Amino acid sequence: MKKNQLLILATVFAIGCSTRDLEPKCIQNGDISKAYSLLQGKWSWRKTFAQYRGQPEPYIQTPETENKRKTFIFQNSLMYEFRRNDTLIAKGNYELIKSNTNGIYLKLSPENGTGSVKSISLCTNELITQQSPDATSTYSKEE
């Protein structure tokens, strides 16, 4: 009887430990090397949220409300592609830059056009870009 109780207790403990491993891992203290490895892959747009001054309600866009799919693909060669509805909109180089406040900036340098720098928040399955002080876009990582 005691062996069964110990086995059940050990199983419950092991399951409890393994669920912590499934929690999203977010970049802490501007860890650039970890950010590069997390960023690589395909990211699909989920929503854009904006709350501008004087605007009574936030403005929320989604793929469904806009009838658009937006996708970033970040390669380990430091190249990226941005696609809208599978059409290539921009491609070029990207760089991650640590800010003075331990945040991370994503610098996009397209082959044709002006580059941009966005503040980002990056977790295992979620990328949030800050377009302006009042607007953010959220992307989910595809497996």
pLDDT given at position 36:
94
What is residue 121's predicted lDDT score, i.e. its pLDDT? 92
Question: How confident is the model over 73-128, as pLDDT tens digits?
Answer: 999 999 999 999 999 999 999 999 998 887 899 999 999 888 888 999 999 899 99
The model's pTM is 0.78
Number of domains in the chain: 1
In this structure, are strands 59-61 and 41-50 parallel, antiparallel, or unpaired?
antiparallel
The DSSP-derived string for 15-76 is HHHHHHHTSPPB--TT-HHHHHHHH-EEEEEEEEEE--TT-SS-EEE-HHHHT--EEEEE-T
Is residue 9, in this structure, part of any structural domain at all?
A: no
| Domain membership flag for residue 46 | yes
Position 75, amino acid: Q
Instruction: Identify the CA nearest to 81 among candidates 42, 48, 107, 46.
Output: 42
- Lowest-confidence region among 2-16, 40-54, 62-76, 124-138: 2-16
CATH number (domain holding residue 43): 2.40.128
- Flag whether 136 is in a domain: yes
Its domain, for residue 62, covers 25-141
Computed over every residue of the chain, the mean pLDDT equals 83
